[in-house]
A and B are shown apart, each in its own frame.
Chain A
Amino acid sequence: MGRLTFDPIDPDRLVAAVRRPTRGAVATFVGTVRSPNRGKEVLHIEYSAYEPMAEQVLDAIEAELRDRYPEIGVAALHRLGRIGVGDASVVVAVAAPHRQEALQACSDWIEQMKVRVPIWKKEFYSDGSAWVDNRDCTDPDRPAPPSPHRSS
C-alpha cells in the first residue's frame, strides 16, 4: 500500500495494517507541516500530485523495499490538498521481524519518496506563497544527515 488521500491521516491504522505476530518491530515516520520554514512563518501548505504516476512510483518504491527486505510490510499515506501547521502530511509504517530492517526500510522509504514521487508543495505566508522543492533543504537548524548506511 502506498497511497494518496485528501483526509487527515491516522497513523494507528497504518501500523495496524502491517503488524503480524512474525514481525517484532514497527518503525513509523510522520512528516508534519513545519513553521517557520526557511525563516518564514508558514500559515498552511498545499500539496498537489500527478496522482496516477505518484501511485505507481509509490508502488515501485514499496516493491523495491520488499525485494531488499523480504519480510517487511509497508503501509503509507501521503496527504494532498491543504494541510495546517503541525498536521501530518505523510505517514509510513514499516513492520519487520527485527528492528534493523524496520528502521532502515522506513528511512529508505522516506528518502526515496522525497526525490521520486511527483508531488509538489506550496507554502503560504502572510505576504504570499512559494513552491518549495526537496532540493532546497537549506534549513540551518536541520542537523547534518547521518553517513550512508553500510549494509553488512
Chain B
Amino acid sequence: MRIRVLLFARYAELAGRDELEIEVPPPLTVGDVWRWVGERYPELGRLEDRPMMACDRIYAQADRSLKGGEEVAFFPPVGGG
C-alpha cells in the first residue's frame, strides 16, 4: 500500500527532502513508517527525540494502523506563536 510521507523543519533539512511516497506491504503503523524513514535517512534515524506524528492532519500515536492512501507527517516539537 502507498503512503505519502511529509517531513518538516529540521527533519526535512536532515533528510534533504520534505515529501516522499512509500510503497510497503501491510500491516503498517505510523511508527513503522517512522522507522522506515529512519533507515532510509540515517540522519533522522539517529535522532534521539521522538517526533510528533500526524495521520491525515490529525495527531496520531505510533501504534496507529494504516490502510493505505494516508498522508503521514513527522515533525519536531512545534515553535509557533
Contacts and interface: CB of A to CB of B under 8 A. Distances in A.
Interface stretch (B24-32, B40-48, B62-70, B72-80): B72-80
A104 interface: no
A80 B9 CA distance: 13
A17 interface: no
B9 A131 contact: yes
How many chain A residues sit at the interface, stated as a range, is 20 to 34
Contacts of B9: 48, 120, 122, 131
Contact of B78 (A31, A52, A89, A116): A116
Given A48-B9, A52-B57, A90 B78 contact: no
A106 B76 CA distance: 26
Interface string A89-120: 11000000000000000000010011111111
Nearest to A114: B81
Contact of A113 (B52, B58, B73, B81): B81
B81 to A, nearest CB: 4
A80 B10 CA distance: 16
Given A118-B52, A118-B75, A120-B75, A50 B6 contact: yes
B8 A118 contact: yes
A85 interface: no
Interface of A: 31, 47-50, 52-54, 56, 78, 89-90, 110, 113-122, 131-135
